[in-house]
């Protein structure tokens, strides 16, 4: 085989592998149940931190949603949960977490998300996001900071996994990575 043919063969293999990886990534996204749209941010690989966190200096917030999807009605943060949705609906902390991601998207991209989404193993749950929800979340944040200052309540463990599963992670300034 001449060198030119070998080069074309190698290029063909590289292209095929890239195509298969792209198709697999699309399939994983489809199976995850996240909304239709272009995925512009993905932080689902905990071993390799490839995405920078979203930051809102004015609110003192930082966080990494699992996905950010550019849907037809705006940017939507999506949080994946490996368990089923509780019968009574999302926990308060989970709602606070996704609302915090909406605040981060709004401040980092200058565009108000129409909602956030919690994607459980069995269903997805949209979390409404309005100015009122933003204010409520910032109020909760203020209360948490105040409580921390007055009662000096601090993290009492070293378990990063516990923080990763915690609904207050996005609003906690002592969360472990
Ligand atoms: S993120 Fe970690 S330190 Fe913060 S409240 Fe949750 S478990 Fe505690």
Is the CB of 172 inside a 6 Å radius of any atom of ligand 1?
yes
Tell me if 166 CB under 6 Å of ligand 1. yes
How far away, in angstroms, is 42 Cα from ligand 1 center? 22
Helix ranges (DSSP H) in 1-159: 3-32, 92-109, 131-151
Q: What is the pLDDT of residue 46?
A: 58
19 occurs within a structural domain? no
Distance 123 CA to ligand 1 centre (A): 26
Q: What is the pLDDT of residue 164?
A: 79
174 alpha carbon to ligand 1 midpoint, in Å?
Answer: 6
pLDDT digits (tens, 9 = 90+) for 10-27: 666 666 666 666 666 666
Check pocket membership of 75 for ligand 1, CB cut-off 6 A.
no
Sheet holding 115-119, edge to edge: 38-42, 67-71, 74-80, 115-119, 124-128
pLDDT at 90: 94
Q: Give a yes or no: residue 143 inside a domain.
A: yes
pLDDT at 33: 58
In a domain, 155, yes or no: yes
Round to whole Å and give the CA distance between 53 and 104. Answer: 9
Ligand 1 pocket: which of 94, 157, 163 to mutate (most atoms <8 Å of CB)? 163
Distance 140 CA to ligand 1 centre (A): 15
163 lines ligand 1 (CB under 6 A): yes
Q: Which two tokens stand for residue 99?
A: 């609302």
Residue ranges, the chain, pLDDT below 70: 4, 6-34, 45-50, 150-153, 167, 170-171
Which DSSP state fits 52?
P
Judge whether 9 lies within some domain: no
Residue-number span of the structural domain to which 94 is assigned: 33-171
Number of domains in the chain: 1
* Pair 103, 56: CB distance under 8 Å: yes
User: Does some domain include residue 1?
Assistant: no
Determine if ligand 1 sits within 6 Å of the CB of residue 168.
yes
Helix axis angle for 92-109 and 131-151, nearest 10°, is 110
């Amino acid at each position: 085989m001449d060198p030119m043919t070998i080069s074309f063969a190698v290029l063909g293999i590289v292209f095929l592998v890239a195509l298969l990886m792209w198709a697999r990534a699309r399939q994983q996204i489809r199976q995850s149940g996240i909304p239709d749209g272009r995925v512009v941010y993905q932080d689902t690989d905990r071993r390799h931190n490839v995405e920078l966190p979203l930051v809102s200096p004015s609110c003192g917030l930082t966080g990494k949603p699992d996905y950010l999807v550019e849907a037809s009605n705006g940017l939507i943060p999506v949080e994946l949960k490996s368990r089923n949705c509780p019968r009574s609906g999302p926990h308060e902390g989970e709602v606070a977490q996704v609302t915090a991601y909406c605040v981060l998207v709004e401040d980092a991209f200058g565009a108000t998300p129409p909602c956030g989404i919690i994607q459980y193993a069995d269903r997805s749950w949209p979390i409404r996001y309005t100015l009122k929800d933003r204010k409520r979340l910032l109020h909760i944040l203020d209360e948490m900071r105040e409580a921390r200052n007055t009662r000096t309540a601090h993290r009492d463990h070293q378990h990063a996994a516990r923080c990763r599963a915690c609904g207050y992670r996005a609003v906690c300034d002592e969360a472990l990575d």
